[in-house]
A and B are shown apart, each in its own frame.
Chain A
């Protein structure tokens, strides 16, 4: 199975900051990487697919990059509504696997 390692596991930042979350795959997944946002008490929602493509309706302050084994999710100009846990997921091969999550808090 492809292991997905996210870092950091938690992050505290100020409103207006730019933050970066990283996701490392245990083997080459090309660009088959997606990011999800799960707000407290809510369901996961797709943010980015194929490493860098913004899903419909996702604000442009979210961006993704990377290929192969290293990927990043960047949130610029942090807003209060960005408080959530963020997960990466690989779609290169079965079983589809998720990272352990990064919990984002506002200072």
Chain B
């Protein structure tokens, strides 16, 4: 059974930092592209960042709104995905989902972790 489990969410003040983690099981993590997708009532579903495979030199892509603030990384030996988030603002509030896929559609989703940016 495929499982993605996120952790690390919570309440953070504007301008603060937070690191999300996602542990995968039930599939060959190292063979899957991974992304973070967030959801908020204001913006709906929004793709945030992607990291590809070792064979792609772990190439990364980011939404313009988080470029330079967020860093996606992975540890294939631990089947873990990370999202380092800096300079957080209220508009970064939302549920952050870890997703796994091989092409351009998100086949696997975690249960999500809630990030709230508020003073």
Q: Contact between A96 and B103 (Cβ–Cβ < 8 Å)?
A: no
Chain A contributes a number of interface residues (CB within 8 A of B) equal to 22
Q: Contact between B47 and A44 (Cβ–Cβ < 8 Å)?
A: no
Residues of B within 8 A of A49 (CB): 103, 105, 107
Chain B contributes a number of interface residues (CB within 8 A of A) equal to 19
A95 at the interface (CB under 8 A from B): yes
Least Cβ–Cβ distance between B83 and chain A, in angstroms = 16
Q: Contact between A46 and B63 (Cβ–Cβ < 8 Å)?
A: no
Residues of B within 8 A of A91 (CB): 103-105
B29 at the interface (CB under 8 A from A): no
Q: Contact between A92 and B111 (Cβ–Cβ < 8 Å)?
A: no
List A residues at the B interface (Cβ < 8 Å): 1, 32, 34, 36, 43-46, 49-50, 55, 87, 89, 91-92, 94-98, 100-101
Offer 10 A-B interface pairs, CB within 8 angstroms, sorted by A. Answer: A43-B97, A43-B109, A44-B106, A46-B106, A49-B105, A96-B47, A96-B50, A98-B44, A98-B45, A98-B47
